[in-house]
Amino acid sequence: MPTPRSQLLIAMLGLALILAVVLPSATAIGQPAPTPATEVKVDNFTFSPEVVTVPVNSTVTWTNKDDVPHVIASTNATFRSKGLDTDDHYSFTFTQPGTYSYYCSMHPKMTGKIIVQ
């Protein structure tokens, strides 16, 4: 007869096995609720929308629709893109809640905010 202690060990191993099988597929089919990618358009020297609120672990993608390049830069250096030419993209995934102010380091009058909840 297995001791109670080894029974517990077997049960835990079994649970781990089940989780290992179930969890990745759960993630793949989007459970819990998916975090939709959020788009910010850079157009006519403005960020649109200017303020975006997203859940934690969201990825925000900026697309430059202007005829001139822009640089997406957070004011506290959390993230910074390279120079984005027309139709170039830049993405950043926000893993921590908080308010992230950013601007274009080439045209600093352009400002925006990502609120991560």
Partner 1 sequence: MSDNKQFVATASGVIEHDHNHDGVNRRGFLKCMAWAGTGALCVVEAGVLKSVALGAQLGSSKKQPTASQLSFVQISDSHMGFDKPANPDVVATLKAAVDRINALPDAPEFILHTGDITHLSTPEQFDTVDQILKSTNKEVFFVPGEHDVLNDDGAMFRERYARNSKGAGWYSFNKNGIHFIGLVNVMNLKAGGLGNLGREQLEWLEDDLRAVKHSTPIVVFAHIPLWTVYPQWGWGTDDGAQALSYLQKFGSVTVLNGHIHQTMQKVEGHVTFHTACSTAFPQPAPGQAEGPGPLKVPADQLRKVLGITNVNYLKHRHALALVDSSLE
Looking at the Cβ atoms of 35 and 91, the one nearer to partner 1 is 91
Please pick, from the candidates 83, 89, 98, 117, the single residue that binds partner 1 as defined by CB under 8 A.
83
Which 8-state DSSP code applies to residue 86? T
Query: Which residue, 91 or 105, is less far from partner 1 as judged by CB?
Result: 105
DSSP state of 82: -
* DSSP line for 19-73: HHHHHHHHHHTT-S-----EEEEEETTEEESSEEEE-TTEEEEEEE-SSS-B-EE
Minimal distance in Å, beta carbon 31 to partner 1? 38
Residue 54 contacts residue 115 (beta carbons within 8 Å): yes
* Among 6, 27, 48, 86, interactor with partner 1 by CB under 8 A: 86
CA separation for the pair 60, 35 (Å, rounded): 10
Residues 8-37 that bind partner 1 (CB under 8 A): none
By CB under 8 A, the residues from 32 to 71 that bind partner 1 are 44-46, 66-69, 71
Q: Which of residues 88-117 bind partner 1 (CB under 8 A)?
A: 101-103, 105-109, 111
